[in-house]
Structures are given as C-alpha cells and as structure tokens.
Amino acid sequence: MKLFKLWLIAKLCLLLVMPFPAWSQALPNPQPAQVNRAISGVLQDSMQARGFAANDPRFGNTLARAAPRLSVVAGGAVLVTVGAIAAPAWASTALAIGFTAAIGYAVTLGLDALVKWLFRDSTIDEYSNALSPANVPGTLVGDEVWCTNQGGGGCATSAEAMATQAAANLGLSAVSGSYDASRGTYTLKTNTGLSIFVSRAIGAVSCPGGHYYKGSQCLALTFPGESVRTGLSPNEAIKGLPESDLKKQLNPALIAALANRAWEQAAQQPGYDGLPYPQSNPITVTEAARWAQANPQYWPTVRDFVSPNPATPTNPNPWALPSSPTAPELTPTPQPNEGTTNPAIDQPQANLGADPAIGAPTLEQIPTAQQIADPILQLAPDLRHFEAQGHTGICPKPTIELYGTHVLDAHCKLIEDNKQVLQLAMAFAWAAMALFIVLSA
C-alpha cells in the first residue's frame, strides 16, 4: 500500500510538469448582414401579402428608398466598440430610428432569452429574469394601455376591448383571442380569418426607469429575483448580454419593428416613389416569424444584431437591403433607373427667347353637318327616283261544264272582302324576309 501511494504521488507530479498542447477557441464570427437579409425578406413578403406584385416598379423602389434612410439613421447612431472595431450596430441603429415608438414594452432580444430590453429615446433599460409583461401590475412606463393600428387604430386599457372594437370597426366579429406574454401582444381571430393584433404600449403617465404606474403613483419594481439596470448606453447594455443569449435567434419583433420604421420613414421623404406605407396595417411579428421559419439559415442571431457593422472596401454600404435576400452573395438593391442614359444629353434644348416670331398654328376648316352627311345621303343616286309601276290584276274566274256551265268566283269575293287584312299580312311577311336577309349578310 505504501509503495502504491508513492507511485500515485509520483505520477501526479509528473502530470503537473508535463506540457500539454492547447488551442484557443475562436469566438463566433458575427454577421450583421444577416439582419439586412431579414429586413429585406420580411419587407418583400409583407408587400406581396398586401397585394403588390414584385414586378411593380414601386416594389423595388421601396427597398431602394428604405436603404438610404437606414444609412442616414446609422450615421447618427451611437458607435458600438468590440475590440478594435468601433461602428454603429443594428442595435444602436434601432435605437436611433425610433424603437421607443415602435416597441413600447420590454422585449427579449433572442427567442427564449433571459435579458429584456426596453428602448428609450437614447438609452436602454435592461431587465434580467423579469416577470412577463402580462404579470406586471401596470406597465414599466406609464399606464397599462393596449394599442392597434387596425380598424382605425386606437388604445384602451383592455386588450380584448381594443381588439373587439377594432374588429367591429371593420365589420367583423370576434371568434377567439390569445395573449403572447413574452412579446406583450394580444391576437384576436375574427369570423373571416383576419387577425387583429394589439400591443402593449406606453400610457400617458411617465415614470422613471425601473418604476411602473399604479394607483396614481409611480412604484419601484421590486419583484423577487429581478435585476433592473436603467439608463444604459448601447455599449453597456450589449456588454451585459450573456453568451447564451448572443447565440439565440433574434426575436422577430425586432425585425418587424425595423422593417416598419424603415418603410415608414422612407415614405415620408420628399420625392418618394415607392409603395405607400400601410399605416393601418403594419408589418406584424407573425409575418416576420413566418419568414424566419421559411429561411432559418438567413435569420440573424442576437450577436449579429448587437455587433458593430462597419463599412469596408468590400462592403462600402453595410446598411443596404438586398433585392434577393436568400442569394449566396449579398448584393444591395440598385437605385431605380441606375445605369441608364439620357438620349437627349447631346441635343440640348434650344432657347428660342421671349418672342421667337413663330406664328400660331393653323387648323383645317371644320366641316359642316351637311358636308359630313352628304357622303351617306348621296349613295346610289340612280335609285333616288325609282318608282314601282302600277299594276292592276283581275281575279281569275274559271268555269267548269258539269250539268251546265258553272263560274267559280266565290274566292274572288272572299279575297276582296279581306283585302286590307291580306295586304297587312303580306307587308309584314315581306318585311320579315328583308330583315332576315339583312341579318344574314
């Protein structure tokens, strides 16, 4: 036993001093371009779902006008720093494009993630292990109100009441409704299959970060096991995300909100020539989730959403939307009429001055009504004076010799007595025959 202990100790010492090869594990490579793909794909699917054909010139123009708007917003977004790279991320761009108005409740960045973000005007509130919004007595900011853009839009303190009213405004009746607590939404199915979507929104009363409104006062969030950090910069909020959340697929609510804001803001620019933004029927989370399910390999992760998205020589416009989001090579949508030439560029317009001494144009003399009708009235002049010759006939009266001479004249008397009726009948018969001849020609 003593020898075994000595052997075991010697072996452990030997293992401690022996070198072992080790390899460092590279961090996952973020792909912010996946967000571009998702926004473009959801936009295109949503436009087609609203009855617009892909060959409509305004279809491509919508993508082409939304991309520059995203670039402008990204130019004013807060820089996110990861290592030696400092550039706006889709997360900071979302903050700059107005997620405060698009998403008025704390939303998880990834599906089934732990951390929720509430987008403010310039900062982010972070809620870890928080209760779902449906269980919070009051909203994180302001009164608990539920709003929709469908059926004329509006807000109410009850999700069911707001959805039912929107359905009634559309002439529909409610069938069934369900909550999605993780997204703070309520969906009402109607008798025609159309769904009414209602979202939790910020009410009229504003409370400080980390508080909620109840009973005419702002109360601090003190739920058991909840961690709240308020007023965070994008950098601070991103650094607080656990690795487990970064690996998860991005919440479709964020892509739907980005697509809505990009389309809405592009449509407000002067000279916009794309499709009108459907204010009463915005892009929904369901539509974004449908595209994610159909194209899982092109759907972004949380890491793609929060990583810097710098301009590079190979990708000078990192915010451009691709015309084909599922193509292997990501190419941005070209500007409308790009590459065309003006055939009159070498033929400049001549300036004829204030008085070029060019007379007024002359018009042909307008023909009179008689001149217009003469070609018809003068047809077949030889027949204009045709007259049918009069003819008189005698009713034949045959005679037979049978036990004397008999004259058969009873038919003459019958015809003469009904002369007017026979004339009318024959006139009608000849008119009918003439009509059939004309129609068969």
The token pair at 329 is: 């090579």
Q: What share of the chain is helix, strand, coil (3-state, %, to 5)?
A: 35, 20, 45
Burial class, 365, CB count within 10 angstroms (exposed 0-12 / middle 13-18 / buried 19+) = exposed
Q: Which of 108, 130, 132 is nearest to 119 (CA)?
A: 108
Tell me the pairing of strands 174-180 and 185-190. antiparallel
Q: Which of 116, 82, 81 is nearest to 245 (CA)?
A: 116
What does the alpha-carbon distance between residue 164 and residue 248 come to, in Å, rounded to a whole number?
35
The token pair at 208 is: 């400080």
- Continuous H helices in 189-272: 234-239, 243-246, 252-267
Helix (H, G, I), strand (E, B) or coil at 350: coil
Q: Say if residues 265 and 69 touch (Cβ distance below 8 Å).
A: yes
Structural element, H or E, at residue 305: helix 302-306
What does the alpha-carbon distance between residue 126 and residue 223 come to, in Å, rounded to a whole number?
14
Q: Which of 93, 123, 74, 119 is nearest to 236 (CA)?
A: 123
pLDDT at 145: 66
Q: Hunting for tokens 């003819």 — which residue is that? A: 391
Contacts of 200 (CB under 8 A, 6+ apart): 104, 105, 133, 139, 144, 145, 146, 159, 184, 185
Q: Which of 214, 219, 175 is nearest to 196 (CA)?
A: 175
Residue 399 DSSP label: E
Q: Say if residues 320 and 335 touch (Cβ distance below 8 Å).
A: no
The token pair at 120 is: 């403010």
The token pair at 221 is: 């969030």
Q: Say if residues 69 and 201 touch (Cβ distance below 8 Å).
A: no
The token pair at 214 is: 């109840």
pLDDT at 40: 92
The token pair at 70 is: 């995203």
Burial class, 395, CB count within 10 angstroms (exposed 0-12 / middle 13-18 / buried 19+) = exposed
pLDDT at 35: 93
Burial class, 145, CB count within 10 angstroms (exposed 0-12 / middle 13-18 / buried 19+) = buried
Residue 177 DSSP label: E
Q: Say if residues 130 and 106 touch (Cβ distance below 8 Å).
A: yes
What does the alpha-carbon distance between residue 90 and residue 31 come to, in Å, rounded to a whole number?
11
Angle made by CA atoms 269, 123, 70, in degrees to the nearest 5: 25
Per-residue pLDDT tens, the chain, 441 aa: give them: 566 556 656 665 655 555 544 444 445 788 898 999 999 999 999 999 988 888 888 888 898 888 888 888 888 888 888 888 889 999 888 888 887 767 766 788 888 788 888 887 788 888 775 443 333 333 333 345 677 777 766 667 678 888 888 888 777 888 888 888 767 788 988 888 788 888 876 544 455 555 555 555 556 554 444 567 788 888 898 888 888 889 999 999 899 989 999 999 888 888 888 899 888 888 988 899 999 999 999 999 999 999 999 988 888 888 888 888 888 777 766 666 554 455 555 555 666 667 767 777 788 888 898 888 888 878 777 777 767 666 677 888 888 888 888 888 888 888 888 888 988 999 999 999 988 888 886
Angle formed by the axes of helices 57-75 and 252-267, nearest 10°: 100
Tell me the pairing of strands 195-202 and 85-88. unpaired
pLDDT at 297: 93
What does the alpha-carbon distance between residue 316 and residue 71 come to, in Å, rounded to a whole number?
11
What's the start-to-end Cα distance of the chain, in Å? 127
What does the alpha-carbon distance between residue 210 and residue 208 come to, in Å, rounded to a whole number?
6
Burial class, 381, CB count within 10 angstroms (exposed 0-12 / middle 13-18 / buried 19+) = exposed
pLDDT at 3: 61
User: How far from the centroid of its chain's Cα atoms is residue 320's Cα?
Assistant: 18
DSSP assignment of 2-17, as one string? HHHHHHHHHHHHHHHH
User: How far from the centroid of its chain's Cα atoms is residue 39's Cα?
Assistant: 12
What does the alpha-carbon distance between residue 107 and residue 140 come to, in Å, rounded to a whole number?
12
Q: Does the predicted TM-score (pTM) go above 0.85?
A: no
